[in-house]
Chains A and B, each alone.
Chain A
């Protein structure tokens, strides 16, 4: 059948794409529906479990009570260190390979919408960079699995009792992921043109859907260890796999990881583009990798902005699940970890903003805004310093006397959460302002109401910042302790409103704008590329650090409150030890990433060997 009109072809393509997506959704539902126990409602499952427990009948055994002898040792190797590194490296690579298809899908779609082939080429280069990382992810996953079986056999045994079904489907989905990925990557140049491009985009969507489900399954295992569900108080599994998966912290971690993965993936690809930029020999190459680096940074920052909110939601849910766990997280020995986190996130924001400010040099029109940069820098550094201020100081008696208590009279109030919430919101708002200046740098608005529009923007930012400060100060210092963090949600909403409203308003103000000076891709200093490296390293290090605390708040429990860790490594290590482990992991990760990047280059190289082959 020949479809004559262009609109009919488009309609057919949309139907095919939607149909494919629906089929995939049905397939995933079918997989989920086959999980043991899903056919019964959670309430009924609870009753069944309670009844079974009351009668003392259960098909499942409780987790064993372990002693140090139950943990096999291999020489003097630290079991915890091996599992730690294997898990962290697996997670970094998994985050990377799950994130890249998300923004590759978006970039490919933008390319299809704008019909600008540069987007398609960039999307292809992104997926090319990540392709070798898939096999490394699987290899590291295998290493983690073997390490767990070898060093923590009883824990692994208990987890497989609860999650054997999901683990089986996880393995099956891995086949699906690989098959779709290979068709998606190797078929990129083959699947070009109207219908084929739609088909290719659908494959990208399926790749993301399967990848996301894979991650959600793995997330359910680790969140079960933090907030076990589907088991009774003694840890006896009820048989309801869905209840175990759908534990209290599952969705908060799912959301946090999806957002963080995108930011992390963007930062790694940004580092790749930065490296290629530094090595570029022609202006065209420089322009291409400058543009790629900018887009990667844009992706990373776009995901970084909502990340604190996702983190806040996760923390709130940890408190809701267990106040003890929440206080261990924020108020115990881990409290100082958040000072390190502040340094890392401060580095992320500063490097991302620095890159934007350097990027303003691409257009001569940006000179109009250069005078504001120092104030933005000052504001961001000020917010960073507030975030960085510790609450409770570790002091000697003499210092305690000199200070008149554990809190500094002036700086002490900046140590509490409302001050930090205020600081992080200010930092995000100022970063969005940086980005607005960048977007405006090569344009002049032509609409008649430009003055009113700019006044509205000033009013929006001023009122928003005032509201953020007011909420933080009022709730933080003039209300009962219980309500101290009550300002956080309205503060977040204020920040989001500022970002969205200012973008929408600017879009209208700059509709039909004149280009005052073109953006010259490639005209950016080399030092800006180092900001991208800093972004990638800081992000990787931050993920490692937060992995330590996520796992550490379980303290001496493999599975919180129901399966105790009796190994010699049960005691939570100090922050210095954790930092050294994270640093070692980051170094190994980047060595492997350099290998992956190098491989992606080697595949495109061809050496001529005259005289080597027989003349045909």
Chain B
């Protein structure tokens, strides 16, 4: 009986040690929640938001970055894709029917084996068969709108003019959009809501807020025109006001805001002419 107690105690100790290691030494990463279907409101979407949607699909639902990353090296980096398209279309191994950047990208997502970049084919296939799945298939299940958004994102990433248009019909669902992203909510109707939502007052003096990390905006309309204000919101590091640091302001408001919100905010800022201006 004593030996039984000793061996049981020893075995429990071993089990506890393994469980303790798995619980307290290894970081507890929460695997992603299953993606949920959500209807896109494409009619109110700006091209910036459409590009941003494409970026989110690439990073998230599309699982593209699992392979198309610099570290793993399992697929060519996406940043170089657009620049390489003319070369690939002219390659003797190209078996598809694309004629331009957008149609090539579209084809490469639905028929990845139409052209396999040398060294990235399935083992033993001689680079004739791609390991990439059809993105519209059920394992990824991208909708037509999401595929077009990815094309827009890749063209934007490659510095090329975006040649796809935002479709009117969202098609199948997009997924896993965060609440704060533009597509997941209704557009705000007042500028107070916009300033509150995007926490402008945390850094700027504006609308009664006292933030001091960024320039005072209470009289910004007196010195800056609409175009400057638009650029300052969409690309905040383009001009840094003297005495302030770069890289503090988020550069994705163009993606987070609806077009109507952006214009409403610019109009409001342009109208601020003096100290203590209130909306």
Chain A interface (Cβ within 8 Å of chain B)?
A: 233-234, 274-275, 278-279, 320, 322-324, 327-328, 331-333, 336-337, 339-340, 343-344, 394, 480-482, 530, 533-534, 537-538, 541, 545, 552, 555-556, 560-562, 564-565, 570-576, 578-580, 582-583, 586-587, 590, 594
Contact = CB atoms under 8 A, between A and B. Distances in A.
Contacts of A234: 138
A590 B16 CA distance: 14
B7 A275 contact: yes
Given A336-B29, A394-B29, A561-B137, A278 B15 contact: no
Nearest to A351: B14
B244 interface: no
A533 B18 contact: no
B139 A541 contact: no
11 contacts: A323-B131, A333-B32, A336-B27, A340-B22, A533-B7, A555-B31, A565-B34, A571-B31, A571-B33, A579-B23, A580-B23
List the 5 shortest-distance A-B pairs measured between CB atoms, nearest first: A481-B73, A579-B22, A556-B34, A572-B31, A576-B23
A574 B29 contact: yes
Given A233-B138, A275-B3, A561-B138, A576 B10 contact: no
A480 B74 CA distance: 10
A530 B123 contact: no
A562 B19 contact: no
A564 B34 CA distance: 10
A534 B14 contact: yes
A482 B27 contact: no
Contacts of B43: none
Nearest to A278: B3
B19 A555 contact: no
A322 B31 contact: no
A560 B133 CA distance: 13
Nearest to A536: B11
Question: Residue among B3, B4, B119, B137 with the most chain A CB within 10 A?
Answer: B3
A66 to B, nearest CB: 12
Contacts of B185: none
Interface residues of B, number: 42
A489 to B, nearest CB: 12
Nearest to B35: A556
A331 B15 contact: no
A530 B73 CA distance: 45
B31 A579 contact: no
A574 B30 contact: yes
B73 to A, nearest CB: 3
Contacts of B131: 323
B15 A587 contact: yes
A488 to B, nearest CB: 13
Contacts of A570: 34
A579 B22 CA distance: 6
B145 to A, nearest CB: 21
A394 B3 CA distance: 43
A388 to B, nearest CB: 11
Given A340-B18, A590-B11, A575 B139 contact: no
Contact of B26 (A336, A561, A564): A336
Interface of B: 3-4, 6-8, 10-12, 14-16, 18-19, 21-23, 26-35, 63, 66-67, 72-74, 119-120, 122-123, 131-133, 137-139
B72 A574 contact: no
Given A323-B131, A323-B132, A538-B14, 18 more contacts: A274-B7, A324-B66, A324-B133, A327-B67, A327-B74, A332-B31, A332-B66, A343-B21, A481-B72, A482-B119, A482-B120, A533-B14, A534-B14, A537-B14, A570-B34, A571-B34, A587-B15, A594-B8
A344 B14 CA distance: 10
Nearest to A336: B26
Contacts of A333: 29-32
Contacts of B72: 327, 331, 481
A481 B26 CA distance: 26
A261 to B, nearest CB: 21
Nearest to A277: B3
Contacts of B33: 571
B19 to A, nearest CB: 4
A582 B19 CA distance: 8
Contacts of B120: 482
A279 B3 CA distance: 7
Contact of B21 (A340, A481, A555, A587): A340
A333 B33 CA distance: 12
A587 B13 CA distance: 11
Contacts of B132: 323
A565 B15 CA distance: 31
Contact of B27 (A394, A533, A552, A571): A394
Contacts of B35: 556
A574 B31 contact: yes
Contacts of A561: 137-139
B78 to A, nearest CB: 16
A331 B72 CA distance: 9
Given A575-B22, A575-B29, A586 B73 contact: no
Contacts of B139: 322, 324, 560-561
Contacts of B123: 320
Contacts of A560: 139
A555 B34 contact: yes
A234 B139 CA distance: 11
